Amino acid sequence: MRRKPNRNNVIKRFDNKEKIVKYQAHRGVSSDAPENTMPAFEMAAKEGYGIIETDPSVTKDGKVILFHDRTIKRTLRINGNVPELNTPITELTYGEVLKYDAGLFKGEAFKGTKVPLLKELLDFAETVKIPVKIDNKIFNFTEEDRSKVYDVLNSSSAEIGITCQKVDFVRDAMKHVKTAEIHYDGEITEEILKTLSDECAGKNLTVWVPIKNRLTTWVSVPFADEKLSSLVKKYARLGLWILESEEDLAAAKALNADIIETTGSLKP
Q: Which of 4-8, 16-20, 24-28 has the highest mean pLDDT?
A: 24-28
Structural domains of the chain ordered from first start: 7-58+120-262 (3.20.20.190)
- Would the pLDDT of 72 be above 90? yes
Q: Which of 36, 86, 89 is nearest to 60 (CA)?
A: 89
- Would the pLDDT of 17 be above 70? no
The rounded mean pLDDT for the chain is 93
pLDDT at 4: 44
- Would the pLDDT of 11 be above 80? no
Q: Looking at residue 255, what DSSP letter applies? A: T
| HEC per residue, 29-87 | CCCCCCCCCHHHHHHHHHHCCCEEEECEEECCCCCEEECCCCECCCCCEECCECCCCCC
- Would the pLDDT of 30 be above 80? yes
What digits encode the pLDDT tens for the residues 146-177?
999 999 999 999 999 999 999 999 999 999 99
In this prediction the pTM is 0.92
Q: Which of 268, 72, 237, 242 is nearest to 256 (CA)?
A: 237
Q: Which of 202, 170, 201 is nearest to 185 (CA)?
A: 170
Distance (Å, rounded) from C-alpha 255 to C-alpha 209? 11
Cα–Cα–Cα angle for 203, 208, 210, rounded to 5 degrees: 175
